[in-house]
Amino acid sequence: MRDIMKGFWAGVAMTSAVMPASAKVVQADSTGFVVAEAREVRASPEVIWAALIHPERWWNKAHSWTGNARNFSMTAKPGGCFCEALSAGGFAEHARIIFAQRGKLLRLSGALGPLQGEALSGTLTIKIVPGKDGSSTVTFEYVVGGYSRMSLTGLAPAVDAVIAEQHRRLLTLLETGRPD
């Protein structure tokens, strides 16, 4: 587990180093933080949704427990799981689906990555808003709160970098057919 966590934080450090200054920590204090990313992409809500519910196609393997994005899955139903298959039949639940409106909104509840080991709650809301010209705006907003042995204000920029990277990878997949 220690090696897994070391690898996760190494991925956070690499992501933080390459993320543009436009990443947004909306709010942060000692009790929690909010990070948000929004950008327009030339794709319909239906096409975005079809890609969104397949994180194995766009979520970066560097932010996994196994180092293999093919182990991710998502079941878009009440109580569905954004999960990762581990060896020997194990699993990691990254988040639970708490709201799904096809082509419009997906909301997941879960403390991602190393936040999972703290007494934190996290809610990731993904909104898809259609535009007028065949494009859509995709927003990721991640709200985290609770008790943590780590400084939440200090952690917010690193978490934002990870969320911003996943947002970018989804949109790049939609634009080019590849997440990177």
Short-list 120, 165, 101, CA closest to 110: 120
Q: pLDDT tens for the chain, 180 residues: list them.
A: 444 444 444 444 443 334 343 459 999 999 999 999 999 999 999 999 999 999 999 999 999 999 999 999 999 999 999 999 999 999 999 999 999 999 999 999 999 998 999 999 999 999 999 998 999 999 999 999 999 999 999 999 999 999 999 999 999 999 999 999
Is the Cβ–Cβ distance between 69 and 59 less than 8 Å?
yes
pTM: 0.87
CATH number assigned to the domain comprising residue 48: 3.30.530.20
- DSSP annotation string for 94-142: EEEEEEEETTTEEEEE---GGGGGSEEEEEEEEEEEE-SSS-EEEEEEE
Domain count, the chain: 1
**pLDDT score recorded for residue 22:** 42
**Domain of 50?**
2-176
Is the Cβ–Cβ distance between 163 and 140 less than 8 Å?
yes
